[in-house]
Structure 1
């Protein structure tokens, strides 16, 4: 609500000079008593606006004729009371704020006078000149609330601005607010120090130089890649010695270089499928299962390290979730790598069950992507450590699956897609590191050309993919994740059934 003091006597000239003279405030209606006179369509509109913003507001509706929808709201909201009677001025004796929403202009004037006699602020529907305050259009993203006022000139414009802001402001703003609140609670020192530290953290939101710096960094990165390509091409065409040396590199390196780049680009953008696709590609190229898994995990050290750092810089990490995933994930990964190195055929027994599990998760994710409404925190998965343990184990045994299993489960359980993606990518760095150490300790591989190709290709794609992921909407991430998980899972199940049958 936007309040305008009754004693304000601005002239037309004052209003033109001052622009909008209204002073915006936010009322704690759960601690005040709002009396709304009118139970028709206008009253229902005002009542709905109040309850949508203040569900625990104490509201008394007074009207002789009341719509069924108003009675339905009374059954849903405990603070809403209905008095089906004619209005009298004594009905305002215990009121703090008044809204007149009747279609009787004389009654509205009487209500306004009765409110002013008791020094109460009143809003008269569709009569700006009689209002002490206006009910503006509201944009809400969790704890963030923005009120829009056109000074009574055009409610339609206010509604259109509301639509624009609702579309442009990301839902993740509420998570950012919560993180800032947690950060503020951890800061020591005096008030000035806290303000300075919070200003430093949030400066990226308002300083155009920060955006310019990021663009400059990406320009440098692109220039480096382009320069390497130009130099390599020139050396190949004009230097016989370099060409002879390049020809000694195993040809599989170039195949895996391109494959690593493409798979990491997809994986970095949506948070999964790199392990599954890279392992499948490696097996199709004749690389044994254990060596294929080792190559995938070695390449993921650098790619996930870069991607995790990028997500950290973009604020996409849920640190509580990260801590719950990390240690169990490492334990599961090391155990799985040890078993696979000892028994290379082990993965064929786990893949059908994993594929069935991820197929179900893919369907759940797609259904949630298209489902309207806000997810409740009670829907979130609770056994994060067990999820990390199982995800790490299956990832090492099957050559991939950390993203498919962990990220899919987190999103299907109601977790924020973008923050889940960033957290899974950063934790993946440590999972891949420990898995790789275990594989190297136990295996002797002859496919280092394939490994090198995956490492370099995925490393080049990682920062590009991380940047892309931050531009994709949460719904798009969920849809992409769901579709890819379903396709990969169905393909794996079909191939298994064909072998069995």
Structure 2
């Protein structure tokens, strides 16, 4: 049996910190775990394919704990959950199938342009209108597209689903909590579809560190989303969407540059 003294904490520490920060942002704002953890892993010198595998592996577990934390804080609307879950899982399966057949590089710049537009709208709308719950008309299609992009584009559930729900006028706490809860099922579906490719090699030190940090931050993120004022939440989500879109577009043009080759 492995004791605590045999665990390589020095090697795990940077990845635990990355996972904690990424999940704290994701649990509070409903998006960001994938893009933040992937970006920071690459900055630590992890090769992009290994970073993507580690993020996907850890996210499937961290999103589960995050969903449970949001359920415990009563941030989940179960009717909205049901409307998102089935289309989201179906979109993930379709995305994996499309990804296996042909990679479509045009998909990512289109998604980033869309996220920038939604983020700009949320920044404009946040301080101007009160955000109270109203009937949401476009839920199933948003879940389908979010699941599809999460699988075929390497991420996208949180930015697309949370951003679009907020743009439609959903209560920020409910939109973020419900999107986080559904994300677990979408991520597990995508991971299961990719498992033949990833195998047990996906469970690296980086993945383990992300998982530990993500699980530790999950309850705190679910608690913070209840404390932050709704208008500020909407503006923070809008700002993060714009930053995500700009980073994605720059990465497509210049490519990621590892900063710490030691890892």
- Residue equivalent to 1:461: 217
Distance of 1:408 and 1:328 partners within structure 2:
17
Higher-strand-fraction structure? 1
2:119 aligned with 1:367: no
2:142 aligned with 1:387: yes
CA shift, 1:474, in A, is 0.8
* TM-score between both structures, scaled by the size of structure 2: 0.85
Judge conservation of contact 1:326–1:388 (CA < 8 Å) in 2: yes
2:88 to 310, 324, 329: 329
What's the RMSD between the two structures over aligned residues? 2.6
Judge conservation of contact 1:366–1:482 (CA < 8 Å) in 2: yes
2:204 to 448, 452, 456: 448
1:299 to 44, 52, 58: 58
Judge conservation of contact 1:301–1:432 (CA < 8 Å) in 2: yes
Distance of 2:124 and 2:63 partners within structure 1:
29
2:118 aligned with 1:355: no
- Residue equivalent to 2:152: 397
2:71 to 278, 296, 312: 312
Aligned length: 251
CA shift, 1:271, in A, is 1.0
Unaligned runs of 5+ in 2: 256-263
Q: Which has the higher contact order (CA 8 A, sep 6+)?
A: 2
Matches within 5 A, 1:166-245: 242=5, 245=6
Matches within 5 A, 1:3-402: 242=5, 245-247=6-8, 251=11, 253-284=12-43, 285-289=45-49, 291-340=50-99, 346=103, 348-372=105-129, 377=134, 381-402=136-157
Higher-helix-fraction structure? 2
Judge conservation of contact 2:119–2:241 (CA < 8 Å) in 1: yes
Q: Secondary structure at the match of 2:227?
A: coil
Change (3 A) 1:256 1:347: farther
Deviations 1:310-359 (A, max 9, x none): 2222222111111111011011112323444666xx37442211110000
2:168 aligned with 1:408: no
Unaligned runs of 5+ in 1: 1-231, 236-241
Q: Secondary structure at the match of 1:470?
A: helix
Judge conservation of contact 1:274–1:400 (CA < 8 Å) in 2: no
* TM-score between both structures, scaled by the size of structure 1: 0.46
Change (3 A) 1:370 1:349: same
Distance of 1:456 and 1:498 partners within structure 2:
31
Distance of 2:130 and 2:227 partners within structure 1:
22
CA shift, 1:442, in A, is 2.9
